[in-house]
Amino acid sequence: MATTKTLEDLFYETLKDIYYAERQIVKALPKMARGAQDEKLKQAFLTHKEETEGQIDRLKQVFEIIGKRAQGKTCDAIEGILAEGEEILDEFKGTPALDAGLLAGAQAVEHYEISRYGTLVAWAKQLGMKEAAALLAETLAEESKTDETLTTLATTAVNSAAKKAA
């Protein structure tokens, strides 16, 4: 007889998913920064790398709260999004459109993270995990702020620079 899966199980599995994703993202951000041509975009990637390291630490704290070892499980979604970013780096290297492509890829990552963290916050609250919910909400706020920063860069500089050079 199959064991009944609970919301706690789903929370744990999703936590492992985002932990894996964050660890992959922290590796990808320096590559993106090196590839970016716009200085503000480079800086945004480097700043977010530092934030992501803090987010990984917060995730470790959440694992501790639930009494589980911090471990990731392969996240196919983030693997695909990061692979697209690598393609953009290769295919658009040295072109005016590179930064617009990198920025779009970075926003795909942010939107995935916002979705995951929003869900985890809601579940943590439902499960009565107030401390975990607060830690996850802090990361959700950072991810949302990063998305806003990227949107501002896109609309004020990067996209118009790509279009002008076309």
Cβ-proximal residues to 153 (8 Å cutoff; 6+ apart), any chain: 38, 40, 41, 44, 103
Domains defined along the chain, listed by start: 7-164 (1.20.1260.10)
> Collapsing DSSP states into helix, strand and coil, what is residue 129?
coil
Cβ-proximal residues to 14 (8 Å cutoff; 6+ apart), any chain: 116, 119, 120, 123
Tell me if 67 sits within 8 A of 8, measured CB to CB: no
What is the model's pLDDT at position 96?
85
What is the model's pLDDT at position 131?
98
What does the pLDDT profile of the chain (166 residues) look like in tens digits?
678 999 999 999 999 999 999 999 999 999 999 999 999 999 999 999 999 999 999 999 999 999 999 999 999 999 999 999 999 999 999 888 999 999 999 999 999 999 999 999 999 999 999 999 999 999 999 999 999 999 999 999 898 888 876 5
90 vs 96: CA distance, rounded Å: 13
> Collapsing DSSP states into helix, strand and coil, what is residue 104?
helix
